[in-house]
Amino acid sequence: MCGITGWVAFDADLTTRRDVLDTMTATMICRGPDAGGVWIDAHAALGHRRLAVIDIEGGRQPMLLERDGRTLLALTYSGEVYNYRELRAELESHGHAFRTSSDTEVVLHAYLQWGEAFTERLNGMYAFALWDARTEELLLVRDRMGIKPLYYYPTPDGVLFGSEPKAILAHPAVRAVVDAEGLAEALAFTKTPGHAVYKGMYELLPGHTARVRRQGLAVRRYWGLEAREHTDDTDTTVRHVRELLDDIVARQLVADVPLCSLLSGGLDSSAITALAARGLAQAGRGPVRSFSVDFAGHTENFTPDSLRGTPDGPYAHALAEHVRSDHRDIVLDTAALMERANREAVLRARDMPTAGFGDGDVSLYLLFKAIREQSTVALSGESADEVFGGYRWFHDPQSVWADTFPWIAAGVADQFSGPGSGGRVALLDKGLLAKLDLPGYQRARYHEALGRVPVLPGESGLQLRMRQISHLHLTHFVQQLLDRKDRMSMAVGLEVRVPFCDHRLVEYVFNTPWEMKTFDGREKSLLRAAVRDVLPDAVADRVKSPYPSTQDPRYAAALRSALQGLGADAPVRPLLDSAAVAEALAEGAGESFRTATEVVLNLNGWLTGQGAELAL
């Protein structure tokens, strides 16, 4: 895992602009604290910051492939290709010789052997830029599920790119301008694929490449979900899901640095932790390390809410004891969640405001920061709910059949950050909200997304609708969670791997009929059946509970205090509804405006610290 950036300019000599590339590359130090490098040719400049995970000594970047003293290819690469050993063996059979044991070099030789079609052979999470010096063309590539981010900014004579917007924004020709559509995207909780919030900037779509030539930039899809007939019976399906998971986890245990798992005590993270424990034990590398996040007094004083029925602690401990993991709880308090330095670090990592995760961003950042002291790589259960149908709104007819994204119908964006009924934009100026028209924006993005859902001939009724629901989650909702996890983990130099995003598993389960996904009358039936043998019953049967949120009343009080402390010159002030703010600060408001206050504070911190310009 690393941070990449670069610049292609066909009408300039970039060898004289090393200072600009150095500045862009320096913004990625958090993603790659171990080493850095740049490579510059006349029309291409590549920057790299490295988090060393495989081949510590040999995997330095940018990496070149040379013949007879001439550079053929140059690569700046982020992520992991999990099948690189098989690809290396195949390439060696074609006569390729390797000087390192890194997956980076395998990617270079794979392109040399198969051209752009090499993308179809890669299994992993990655984002990279490859300069072909033979043809003077740049190829940008992003993994199938969009686990690793990659942004680009077309210019009149080329392109700028980076793992995060901040790398592009560091270029002197780019202004951090956000128009009405960009702000609507930031607040709407839709995560439109390809949208980067900043004007003129784009996020490369998952499963796509972008080729940059003198003639311009062309984007191509090399992978996407397709509708296929599922012919396996239930027992065969369960067995194949388990076979896939065993193979996926085994591949993702490969690392030359300390590795651990993120454990919440839910079905997803427990399955990954248990399978990792087995794999490490079989390889003589056990026990598995596991980490959980908790809040001071949370378990003892837990109150069920609309999303979370049980605290994580007891279930995480039950699983840790069951697999005999080396377990540690990371316990956070309200002071740490509200500490200015921590909240500013989160906003720097995010590059843009968020609407809906509340204290979850800060707590995730602090969890990863503590884990990084002991491990460099962590396995996560992220995306199992999207793949197997685990969220409650998958099983709520009103949300399923609503004419919008089901998580919007379920009000998730207003609840994810914990208790409180105030909508996330309740404190924003009514005129601003009318201009943004968030309901209209969500409606337009929803119908665009529906038009991209692949279906089988004659598919109708509940099966068709659940295929649509699954596709919406796999292409939109999971992108919000993957982006969040990437930003918070890479802010502290921690690599997080997500086994449930393996494209083989995603393709297989996507085409499994809905009645099979719920064959035991519950959510995630296939996953539960596939891993029950490695889990204690209490964990296997636990009802889905999202990432935890603090219930400490002092947290809501601290938010109100921060809202009250916004000065008249605070950049967010013109965006606020003064009457609504007064209501939120009134005696007895309690936690009603907690989510909305989080949004306001995020907006203010972003406008203050990121140098963003609103062009509304």
For the CA atoms of the chain, what is the radius of gyration?
Answer: 24
Burial track 588-616 (b if 16+ CB lie within 10 A, e otherwise): ebbbbbbbbbbbbbbbbbbbeebebebee
Identified catalytic residue from 2, 30, 260, 501: 2
Burial (CB count <10 Å: 0-12, 13-18, 19+), residue 217: middle
What SS3 class is residue 188? Answer: helix
Pairing of strands 216-221, 208-213: antiparallel
Helix (H, G, I), strand (E, B) or coil at 98: coil
Counting every residue, how long is the chain? Answer: 616
- Least Cα distance to 294 among 37, 580, 547 occurs for 547
Helices and strands, counts by H and E, the chain = 25, 19
Q: Which two tokens stand for residue 421?
A: 């009924």
Task: Give the number of other CB atoms < 10 A from CB of residue 436.
Answer: 21
Residue 376 contacts residue 490 (beta carbons within 8 Å): no
Q: Which two tokens stand for residue 500?
A: 């449930």
Contact (CB, 8 A) for 386 and 478: yes
Which residues neighbour 356 within 8 Å (Cβ) at sequence distance 6 or greater?
189, 412, 413, 414, 416, 417, 424, 480, 595
Query: How does DSSP assign 459-473, residue by residue?
Result: --HHHHHHHHHHHHI
Contact between residue 111 and residue 130 where contact means Cβ atoms under 8 Å apart:
yes
Chain centre to alpha carbon of residue 396: 26
Catalytic residue list contains 2: yes
b/e burial code for range 572-586 (CB count within 10 A of at least 16 → b): bbebbbeebbeebee
Q: Which of 93, 92, 88, 113 is nearest to 103 (CA)?
A: 88
**Which are the contacts of 348, defined by CB distance < 8 A and separation ≥ 6?**
166, 491, 609, 610
Query: Which residues are identified as catalytic?
Result: 2
